[in-house]
Chains A and B, each alone.
Chain A
């Protein structure tokens, strides 16, 4: 009896988010919740990224937290930089040593193989090649194959791969653009999700589920988030939006120009999919892709089924009114317990000075030391947020 209770308790604690095979979430982006930082987060921590000549970079285009390290993609310098969780610099992958490319035609995406301690990278200039680097930034091997647009690490034998178009698995006869392959990426093990027919554009979101051999995936115009393990789709979260946000049936199958015209001229609110999906415990964060202005992250709490917009979170006196999220209100990464965002140094300093002037803020020593340590050209600051359970 006791063991059954423990098992049930564990099932309960593992979170209602993926307890069912399929979950439906109704969301009205115009009616989401907000709040103050103290109401939603247990802690906010600033982690400066060490700035040296070697580690100086431009902008965080993509952030992944894995193996107790920060992996940062900076497209302006075409590098993936690796920092320890305390912000100390570890190493970097300089793609330009291997592929000369023009601006914004370099590294497109990457994933981390925590077992082999590899960082696997693709490149827009040579899109049919995957590059495998070790944590020291040295190239280990390359694989020439299909043109993958995004990928995620499942385990030491399996990768989740996504392409811009459906790929035919000659063995099964199935077509899909989201597949499980072996680590050579040449053998398709499972075809999972097809692209949505009749709609323009492509692109997928892929992110690792922290601490699990699972990856979350979403495709363009497919308003479902899939949790995929080595055996296939384990869970699915289906989103339903109000009519004004939903692509109307009559534009499916029409020309590219017609669909562009619809989104630009008729209804800029129409959603096209998800951006930046992350999961941590009972929480799911995502942002919505549309032509209009502003793409903040939303936090879905499985326990309360509430949805909060990070764009409606305001800082408060408990955190000295300092900025706690990026300018656009975005979450960029997650691990088991935390969400991560980032801000440039000038944004932090500007908030610090404004509060000194307008609120006569009395900062603790830690914050004052942090402020004085920053130079104008320093690397961005990682912000680590711990969401309150039960919100």
Chain B
């Protein structure tokens, strides 16, 4: 009942909705009381609508608990029709005429007569725009007259209480809609925009909004989510829609899209394809579908190429999606049910031409630095086939369930690298130079599958089994030519002509077995211990990684390729991570019905970890076996305070420990001699690092504002840190050592507030901030140093929209990084990035759209000179044909021609700035056609 109330109140207060634009003629007002005189009671939640002489809806509302209604902003000096509709009653119709002298009319009691509606009466009266059907609020699409090419999204923007936000969220009277379904089922993967931007408004019968309990076995109106269902008309439950487009522009740029989708009551099938050389990439079939909708945009930011992506990229993608839902007829016999079957297949071909220049500054003290510069080119080709099946669910009643989710992919990668690098001291003395040219070809395959089984046992406990497997295999063939010249130590000079083959396979498995709710079995029912939740878990992780490397270097004398016996080897690493644990939880709660609900949950998990590493290698120095065992505790507190109808707060605190174990590369590494500026030394005496974490999270949700705040402090003992020294050639030699004093503090928060400025205008404000402070101990040139780094980033966003006609977006992003070396005379390095984005989009007419965005970037770093650039894009599109199926679009990208790709990052005592080649200014004309048919 409460869920109905907030909906009704929202409707009443949002009151009238105008299908026509407001003007000075709308000054009339009508009030009255919907009444059933034959039964002597008022009609609550009756639908009251006013139409003009063309039967177009002017405004509507619903009567309150006393049957009262008020309709304002009505036109004067024209004929209007008042219609009251109520389930089980004949429509009440009254023709009226308001004039300026008599613009306010109180109709008092209006008698509505019981009786069934017939079609003739509905034709005369008009379809009630909104009604309560039990617990469900229903909007009738035919009551709203929109443009004949309007889609579901256009209808939603005109429904009272329904708001479409700039980030894609839909709310109904302030409540976020968690799912948008079509005919009660997810539509092509469940994406909201695929449904709302493709389905024509004329194919919709009604839009339903209702509360769905999160747990069907424990219904609680205060623990429910809001769902929206688009119900199609009886003759529109099957159809097809899609997009075909082609565009060509300056600098030989091109784009093409193909999408065709078919649906029926039980089956959905789609085929898609895309090709471009403008940095548009989609990772999945779903993303490609979202970018091919009929409406094409959410009236805010147009879908556009990624100008921040490095390199020049050409992409070809195609895919298929299929899903079939089963309809079950229950019988008296026990039954096994499968809900649905389906899957996605995608093919991607990505080719990249990347040129990069990076500068790394290493600081060893106030006056001691080393600068490394490198320039490189990379041509790569990646071809990927992905196949994944939708989750297969089989269940028997509500007791036994099996879920299976498999996926597989095959990838081919070809890369050609050319890199030159140099190392310079702080006195600008050239220390060394290097050059490398290489070609690689990699073929890899991946298979993953997750299986979950659950069974509710007769003794009241529950058994859950989860298994996942991830297998990857790759064959990598390499040929390279590398040279290194040192200006301080000639003996370090070398030239290597190499041919190599690397075969790697990796198998990871996880098996979790959980026996839940065993406390009553041990302690019985009816006393304190039976209210303590006890579960037994066993988590087993198994990893097998094998390498089979064949490396041949050309002999300078014989010119023959001879096996490099050091780098030619095979090894097999097995890791077993076994974690039996017991979980004990107790919830203390205080509930005062209709007022508040407070609960405190205390969770203790006691785990004994058995960790075994065993490596077999053709190099005897890499043979080892290590095993560890440790007690790994976890203590958690969850406090929730729900003040019904006012606000909800929650506080989560976690205290936990975990261990990090040294890898083979830390213990017994094999060093590739072609890596001239970085070498690793092994350290077999390494002990595991223990991470101790304390984290706190606070969350507040209310009608006024939502915000979240997190603090995490991590203290690591026996931290696996680095001990580095830089030799006279500028090469860094690193060894992992155990160090104490590693700490990290991270604080982040998000706040969001939505403002409904008027029926037509909305504003959304959000702020996201992250701060971290790290104390990282390390040895640098045999001096014990602590790197203290601070990182602060903050992003403020304002989003304003007026219906679906105008959208404005302004965001400011600041990111600041500093690093101080305490053991090296407090030497300091820093990075600063400033990014401001302003974008606007406007629908000049129903068919003509214009949009533009401007991004301003400022980068400064200790490693390089400041970089500033601005990117300005603009586009306009026009729809043709009766069904607006044909679109012409003209786009201008990077109008100012300033686009750059700059990345700044830091790590302990280094800071790096990298500049890559990027997509440059171009202009493009695109033609798109949207074939669509809904119904027969």
Chain A interface residues toward B at CB < 8 A: 30-35, 39, 56, 58-59, 74, 76, 99-102, 125, 255, 257-258, 261, 292-294, 309, 312-315, 321, 327-328, 344, 346, 376-377, 380
Residues of B within 8 A of A255 (CB): 332
Residues of B within 8 A of A99 (CB): 526
Contact A33 B39 (CB under 8 A): yes
Contact A377 B596 (CB under 8 A): yes
Say how far A317's CB is from chain B's closest CB, in angstroms: 10
- Chain B 582-599: CB-based contact to A (< 8 A → 1; otherwise 0): 000000000111111000
Given contacts A257-B330, A293-B134, A346-B594, contact A34 B39 (CB under 8 A): yes
Q: Does B621 contact A (CB under 8 A)?
A: no
Residues of A within 8 A of B328 (CB): none
Given contacts A100-B527, A101-B526, contact A58 B134 (CB under 8 A): no
Q: A32 vs B41: C-alpha distance in the bound complex, in angstroms?
A: 10
Contact B42 A377 (CB under 8 A): no
Residues of B within 8 A of A125 (CB): 525-526
Contact B66 A315 (CB under 8 A): yes
Q: A32 vs B65: C-alpha distance in the bound complex, in angstroms?
A: 18
Report the interface size class on chain B: 20 to 34
User: Could you tell me which residues of chain B, from 73 to 128, have a CB within 8 Å of some CB in chain A?
Assistant: 88, 114
Given contacts A56-B592, A101-B526, contact A314 B40 (CB under 8 A): no
Residues of B within 8 A of A58 (CB): 591-595
Residues of B within 8 A of A313 (CB): 41
Residues of A within 8 A of B66 (CB): 314-315, 321
Q: A111 vs B49: C-alpha distance in the bound complex, in angstroms?
A: 51
User: Could you tell me which residues of chain B, from 523 to 563, have a CB within 8 Å of some CB in chain A?
Assistant: 525-528, 531
Contact B134 A257 (CB under 8 A): no
Q: Does B67 contact A (CB under 8 A)?
A: yes
23 contacts between A and B (CB under 8 A): A31-B114, A33-B41, A34-B40, A34-B41, A34-B42, A39-B40, A99-B526, A100-B527, A101-B526, A125-B525, A255-B332, A261-B330, A293-B134, A293-B135, A312-B39, A312-B41, A314-B41, A314-B65, A314-B66, A315-B66, A327-B5, A344-B594, A377-B596
Residue of B nearest to A35 (CB): B40
Say how far A346's CB is from chain B's closest CB, in angstroms: 7
Q: A34 vs B593: C-alpha distance in the bound complex, in angstroms?
A: 30
Q: Does B219 contact A (CB under 8 A)?
A: no
Given contacts A100-B527, A293-B135, A315-B66, contact A34 B595 (CB under 8 A): no
Residue of B nearest to A312 (CB): B41
Contact A76 B596 (CB under 8 A): no
Say how far B579's CB is from chain A's closest CB, in angstroms: 31
Q: A102 vs B530: C-alpha distance in the bound complex, in angstroms?
A: 9
Residue of B nearest to A347 (CB): B594
Pick from B525, B531, B591, B645: contact of A346, CB under 8 Å: B645
Residues of B within 8 A of A56 (CB): 592
Q: A313 vs B41: C-alpha distance in the bound complex, in angstroms?
A: 7
- Chain B 41-58: CB-based contact to A (< 8 A → 1; otherwise 0): 110100000000000000
Contact A102 B531 (CB under 8 A): yes
Contact A59 B593 (CB under 8 A): yes
Q: A198 vs B73: C-alpha distance in the bound complex, in angstroms?
A: 60
Q: Does B457 contact A (CB under 8 A)?
A: no
Given contacts A33-B40, A101-B526, A314-B67, contact A377 B135 (CB under 8 A): no
Residues of A within 8 A of B804 (CB): none
Contact A292 B527 (CB under 8 A): no
Pick from B36, B528, B596: contact of A34, CB under 8 Å: B36
Q: A294 vs B135: C-alpha distance in the bound complex, in angstroms?
A: 10
Given contacts A102-B531, A255-B332, A315-B66, contact A377 B134 (CB under 8 A): no
Q: Does B881 contact A (CB under 8 A)?
A: no
Residues of B within 8 A of A346 (CB): 594-595, 645
Residue of A nearest to B331 (CB): A257
Q: Does B1 contact A (CB under 8 A)?
A: yes
Contact B42 A314 (CB under 8 A): yes
Q: A58 vs B597: C-alpha distance in the bound complex, in angstroms?
A: 11
Residues of A within 8 A of B526 (CB): 99-101, 125
Residues of A within 8 A of B36 (CB): 34
Q: A315 vs B36: C-alpha distance in the bound complex, in angstroms?
A: 16
Q: A364 vs B1: C-alpha distance in the bound complex, in angstroms?
A: 30
Contact A327 B1 (CB under 8 A): yes
Residues of A within 8 A of B594 (CB): 58-59, 344, 346, 380
Residues of B within 8 A of A294 (CB): 134
Given contacts A34-B41, A312-B41, contact A377 B592 (CB under 8 A): yes
Q: A102 vs B460: C-alpha distance in the bound complex, in angstroms?
A: 15
Contact B41 A76 (CB under 8 A): no
Residue of A nearest to B134 (CB): A293
Q: A321 vs B65: C-alpha distance in the bound complex, in angstroms?
A: 10
Q: A368 vs B345: C-alpha distance in the bound complex, in angstroms?
A: 69
Q: A380 vs B594: C-alpha distance in the bound complex, in angstroms?
A: 10
Say how far B328's CB is from chain A's closest CB, in angstroms: 12
Residues of A within 8 A of B528 (CB): 100
Given contacts A76-B593, A313-B41, A315-B66, 13 further A-B contacts (CB under 8 A): A99-B526, A101-B526, A255-B332, A261-B330, A293-B135, A309-B41, A314-B44, A327-B1, A327-B2, A328-B1, A344-B594, A346-B595, A377-B592
Residue of A nearest to B592 (CB): A58
Residues of B within 8 A of A102 (CB): 531
Say how far A261's CB is from chain B's closest CB, in angstroms: 6
Nearest 3 interchain pairs by C-beta? A34-B41, A58-B593, A59-B593
Residue of B nearest to A292 (CB): B134
User: Could you tell me which residues of chain B, from 614 to 653, have a CB within 8 Å of some CB in chain A?
Assistant: 645
Residue of A nearest to B114 (CB): A31
